[in-house]
Structure 1
Amino acid sequence: MKALVLSGGSGTRLRPITHTSAKQLVPVGNKPVLFYGLEAIAEAGITEVGIVVGETEAEIRRAVGDGSRFGLRVTYLRQEAPLGLAHGVLIARDFLGGEDFLLFLGDNFIVGGIADIVAGFRANPADARLLLTEVPDPGRFGVAELGPDGRIVGIEEKPQRPKSDLALVGVYLFGPAIHRAVRAIAPSARGELEISDAVQWLLDAGLDVRSTVITGYWKDTGNVDDMLEANRTVLEGLEHGVEGEVDGATEIIGRVRIASGAIVKGTRIVGPAIIGTGARIVDSYIGPFTSIGDGVRVEDSEIEYSIVLDGSTIQGVRPIEASLVGRAVEVTPAARTRAAHRLVLGDYSRVRIA
């Protein structure tokens, strides 16, 4: 069995971060989301992986390489435009051949892995097996309708009036019949080949489509709130460890990981929290569920329930919470001369000002 990982999306809901970075490489717990998926694929015993890439191909190639660090052999498949999940399957036809395969969305995060699910599919193959989970807002996702016997009878993509609260998780198992389906369907109203339409084609053709409802943690990390929630979940399982330099005036409470090369002085850290390699934290407060990236400087500041990416500086600002700070960002206090806000913001930015 092979795996196909879709990493070609533009990440519009994470702008402006994704103007300069692939959404699949935004870290939770100081590790890119994509890496969790690749590790789960390797743990499931799959070694041949195709990664569908788009405009951020060079960045993903640099991060993943040939896949050997994960125990994988990676082939890169270029998608010229984000034309839908089913289009990703369409362009991977030669790579996938006639084998069963796992389809995994590169920005999805599942706690507990997928090894049991893959093993079950290998033991009892079908034309498709979909992972479903209950969500409070099914209109944001592809939604499955189940019949009285629990079998899938219909699939709808982002319906205005969902027929159930069971969303499609971004992990699918397919037999070779899906290749006929993706060739047969037409683009949706938003101009994309929808994987939900391809699954509906399988259903209409009377093929064997099964489902598994998962109860573990799953997040589509497509927006800031979901990224922060996934980060919280990762940090809840953090193991305490201090490898960096911590002075006697620093107080560490709970599970905190401080990487080698980090320097912490006169600071209170309440875990779970992680401090990256080469970070410098001085006279500050780092609160729970915070990930501080490599080379970050935090001085005379307070921050909690946030993600700060590599190389950024936060100085003299308190408090900061529920924030996602990109790479090489500078956050400093404004001059207190008059009650005005001075902003330099990229396209599609979102700013909340008290």
Structure 2
Amino acid sequence: MKALVLAAGTGTRLRPVTHTGAKQLVPIANKPVLFYALEAISAAGIANVGIVVEPNADDIKKAVGDGSRFGVDVTYICQEQPLGLAHAVLVSQDFLGSDDFLMYLGDNYVGGGVTSVVEAFRHDRPSARILLTQVPDPTAFGVAELDDTGRVASLEEKPTRPKSDLAVMGVYLFTSEIHEGIREIKPSARGELEITHAIQWLIEQGRDVTATVNTSYWRDTGNVADILEVNRHVLDTTEGPGAAAGEVDPDSTLIGEVHLEEGARIVRSWVEGPVVIGAGTLITDARIGPYTSIAEDCRVSGSAIRSSILLSGSTVDGVSAIADSLIGRHASITTAAAGGDSHRLVLGDHTRIALAG
């Protein structure tokens, strides 16, 4: 079995952060969300991985490399235009051949991994197996209707009147029969080849399409709110080495799970976990956390930050209250002369902003 990881999306809902970086590399607890997908694939025993990328994907190629750090062998596949999930499979035909494969959307976070569903697919080998989860608003997703036996009776993409509350997650398992379905479908109204249409074609042809209803944690990290929510979840559930790898002066207080990477320093500050602070970052006269991830080589002084993510090289100086924010690489945030009491920020890479203090 092979794996196909889709990482060619433009990340429009995360702009301006994604103007200069792939959305799949936005860090969750200081690790790109794409890395969680690759780790889950490796843990499921799949070693041959194709990553579908856009033409300008040097950042993903640099971050992932040949995949050896994850225990997989990576092949990069270029999708010239984002024309749908089924189109991504179509352009990957040479890599996939006639093999069974797991398709995993690279901006999805699946807390329980995919090992059990991969093992079930290998045992039963239906034409397709999809992961479903209950959602409060199915109209934003592909929606599945199950029959009395638990098999998929129908699929509909973003329906106005959903037949169930079971949304299709970004994890699919296919035999080579899916290629036949993709060849038979036409572009949707939005001009894309929809994978739900190809799966629906299999259903209409009487092929065996099964489902697993996921009960573990899952999020599509396509927007800031979901990224911050996943960051909170991961920080809550991850045990790390604690502060041993960094330096904490005697005038600082650490409470709860605080993970300092090598070279991180905390001076005269209060840090309440769960928090992760990256290598080479300096925290001075600040109040940090909970649920905050600060990447490598950042500088935070005289400021208070909670429930936020700071990307590498960012500077925050003299800002009294930052919360629920995603701050891009090398952003610089300082206090302006006038007063103020709270700030909510989504900043792109190399942004500079002065806030009322």
Task: Output the TM-score relative to the length of structure 1.
Answer: 0.94
Question: 2-side partners of 1:62 and 1:117: how far apart?
Answer: 30
1:196 is matched with which residue?
Answer: 196
Question: 2-side partners of 1:124 and 1:231: how far apart?
Answer: 35
- Asked if the contact 1:133/1:168 (under 8 Å) is kept, the reply is yes
| SS of alignment partner, residue 37 of structure 2 | helix
Question: 1-side partners of 2:84 and 2:260: how far apart?
Answer: 40
- Asked if the contact 2:327/2:346 (under 8 Å) is kept, the reply is no
What does residue range 164-175 of structure 1 map to in structure 2 within 5 Å? 164-175=164-175
- Asked if the contact 2:279/2:295 (under 8 Å) is kept, the reply is yes
Deviation at 1:147, TM superposition (A): 2.3
Shift in alpha-carbon separation, 1:132–1:344, aligned structure 2, 3 A:
closer
Question: 2-side partners of 1:344 and 1:257: how far apart?
Answer: 24
1:15-51 per-residue CA deviation (whole Å, 9 max, x = no partner) reads 1111111000000010000000000000000000000
Question: 1-side partners of 2:41 and 2:192: how far apart?
Answer: 26
What does residue range 294-333 of structure 1 map to in structure 2 within 5 Å? 294-333=296-335
1:284 is matched with which residue?
Answer: 286
Shift in alpha-carbon separation, 1:246–1:143, aligned structure 2, 3 A:
same
Question: 1-side partners of 2:127 and 2:339: how far apart?
Answer: 67
Question: 2-side partners of 1:303 and 1:313: how far apart?
Answer: 12
1:73 is matched with which residue?
Answer: 73
Question: 1-side partners of 2:346 and 2:169: how far apart?
Answer: 37
What does residue range 1-354 of structure 1 map to in structure 2 within 5 Å? 1-240=1-240, 241-242=242-243, 243-336=245-338
1:248-307 per-residue CA deviation (whole Å, 9 max, x = no partner) reads 010000011011111110111110000000000000010111000000110000000110
Alignment gaps of 5+ in structure 2: none
Q: Which amino acid aligns with 1:334?
A: A
Shift in alpha-carbon separation, 1:48–1:283, aligned structure 2, 3 A:
same
Question: 2-side partners of 1:114 and 1:221: how far apart?
Answer: 17
- Asked if the contact 1:239/1:256 (under 8 Å) is kept, the reply is no
Deviation at 1:344, TM superposition (A): 12
Q: Which amino acid aligns with 1:296?
A: C
Q: Which amino acid aligns with 1:145?
A: E
- Asked if the contact 1:294/1:310 (under 8 Å) is kept, the reply is yes
Deviation at 1:57, TM superposition (A): 1.4
Question: 1-side partners of 2:31 and 2:208: how far apart?
Answer: 37
| SS of alignment partner, residue 335 of structure 2 | coil
Shift in alpha-carbon separation, 1:196–1:337, aligned structure 2, 3 A:
closer
| SS of alignment partner, residue 207 of structure 1 | coil
- Asked if the contact 1:8/1:56 (under 8 Å) is kept, the reply is no
- Asked if the contact 1:129/1:211 (under 8 Å) is kept, the reply is yes
- Asked if the contact 1:181/1:202 (under 8 Å) is kept, the reply is yes
Aligned length: 347
Deviation at 1:148, TM superposition (A): 3.2
Question: 2-side partners of 1:238 and 1:132: how far apart?
Answer: 25
Question: 1-side partners of 2:40 and 2:223: how far apart?
Answer: 22
- Asked if the contact 2:121/2:173 (under 8 Å) is kept, the reply is yes
Q: Percent identity?
A: 58
Task: Output the TM-score relative to the length of structure 2.
Answer: 0.94
Question: 1-side partners of 2:346 and 2:238: how far apart?
Answer: 36
Alignment gaps of 5+ in structure 1: none
Deviation at 1:335, TM superposition (A): 2.6
Question: 2-side partners of 1:158 and 1:334: how far apart?
Answer: 45
Deviation at 1:311, TM superposition (A): 0.2
- Asked if the contact 1:238/1:272 (under 8 Å) is kept, the reply is no
- Asked if the contact 2:328/2:347 (under 8 Å) is kept, the reply is no
| SS of alignment partner, residue 36 of structure 1 | helix
1:80-118 per-residue CA deviation (whole Å, 9 max, x = no partner) reads 011100000001111111111000000000012111111
1:203-243 per-residue CA deviation (whole Å, 9 max, x = no partner) reads 11111100000100000000001100110111012325111
